[in-house]
Amino acid sequence: MAVQLFKKKTFSSVYHKHMIPASNEIMQLILSYVREKTNGQPLELAVDVGCGTGRYTLPLAPHFKKVLATDISDSQINLAKQYNSANNVSYMVAPAEKLPLKDASVDVVNAGLAAHWFTVDKFVNEAARVLKTNGCLAVHAFYPGTEIEYKEFSHDLNVLMSEVWDTLHQHGDEKITEYMFSQYQHIFEAVPLKDKEWITNVPVSIQMSSLDIMRFIHTMYMYQAFRQKDALKAEEFIIKTKEKFLAILGEDADSAMLNVHMKYYCVLACKK
């Protein structure tokens, strides 16, 4: 199963180094929602579920007295402890569907780029169980595709990236792909809380070099699944993609900072 990739130490290291950073836009969206729904009450505890190596854990830390981050992967948790630690943050290996917390004890449950790996119905009901009254759930990820803007090369770069994503999707899990292409519609519908919002197509732009993009490809579980199926073809795919970037960008291939446009989506809910 693809989720087993995240338990491998070598993949966890690649994921930590080269996955794109947490979205400031999404964090501000979540925090604004939480402030509105909690009516200024002190924020004691946030739980970052499926935290990976802590990409969204540290941005949460300044806003809560304590943050507990959980993941099913020992290797991801170990890297999170090493690189994303803070005095008020603790990490624990635990499944999203069975959180080690009392009923009505949590102000915010967050899951960034993770919920599509969970047993969704069990997770959302578990989140509802642990949330306090006025506590909030935030579940978010990015659409599996990109648009690139750079000088007169934008069209050719986007054709190339469409080819890249088409290849990666061939090696993806059908259910996970459906969740991500639908921008978490199924997860929104599964949330058992009446006060909920589904926000799609949130624009986020990142500057990346072609090397950054190649490294990002390596963090995608779809590429890692491709490698498991056929390591030689996966390596050929990477080599050819590098060559195509070089052919398009020429002498700019190494130095150019490309504007990479992505779409994020977010399910927000409040327990009344």
- Using CA atoms, how far apart are residues 19 and 51, in angstroms rounded to an integer? 13
Question: 89 φ, ψ to 5°?
Answer: -110, 135
Concatenate the DSSP letters of all residues of 86-99 into one string.
Answer: -TTEEEEE--TTS-
Going from the C-alpha of 159 to that of each of 25, 234, 262, the distances in angstroms are 27, 19, 15
Q: Per residue in 160-177, pLDDT tens?
A: 999 999 999 999 999 999
Instruction: Tell whether the model's pLDDT for residue 21 goes beyond 50.
Output: yes
- Using CA atoms, how far apart are residues 146 and 260, in angstroms rounded to an integer? 7
Please report where in the chains the tokens 């589904």 appear, as a residue.
198
Q: Where are the domains of the chain?
A: 2-270
Give me the mean pLDDT over the 182-187 stretch: 97
User: Which pLDDT score is estimated for 7?
Assistant: 58
Q: Taking each helix axis from N to C terminus, what angle separates 154-169 and 231-249, rounded to the nearest 10 degrees?
A: 170
User: Which of 12-16, 214-218, 238-242 has the weakest average pLDDT?
Assistant: 12-16
Instruction: Tell whether the model's pLDDT for residue 9 goes beyond 90.
Output: no
- Using CA atoms, how far apart are residues 269 and 65, in angstroms rounded to an integer? 21
- Given the DSSP bridges, would you call strands 106-112 and 45-49 parallel, antiparallel or unpaired? parallel
Q: Per residue in 243-270, pLDDT tens?
A: 999 999 999 898 999 999 999 999 999 9
Read off the pTM: 0.94
Among 115, 117, 116, 71, residue whose Cα is nearest residue 93: 71
Instruction: Tell whether the model's pLDDT for residue 1 goes beyond 80.
Output: no
Instruction: Tell whether the model's pLDDT for residue 106 goes beyond 50.
Output: yes
Q: Per residue in 37-81, pLDDT tens?
A: 998 789 999 999 999 999 999 999 999 999 999 999 999 999 999
* Residue 142 amino acid letter: F
Classify domain 2-270 by CATH architecture.
Answer: 3-Layer(aba) Sandwich (3.40)
- Using CA atoms, how far apart are residues 6 and 77, in angstroms rounded to an integer? 10
Mean pLDDT of the chain: 95
Instruction: Tell whether the model's pLDDT for residue 2 goes beyond 60.
Output: no
Give me the mean pLDDT over the 189-200 stretch: 98
Give me the mean pLDDT over the 234-243 stretch: 97
Give me the mean pLDDT over the 110-123 stretch: 97
- Please say whether the beta carbons of 59 and 27 come within 8 A: yes
Going from the C-alpha of 203 to that of each of 23, 25, 167, 179, 184, the distances in angstroms are 10, 8, 24, 19, 16
Residue 109's SS3 state is: strand
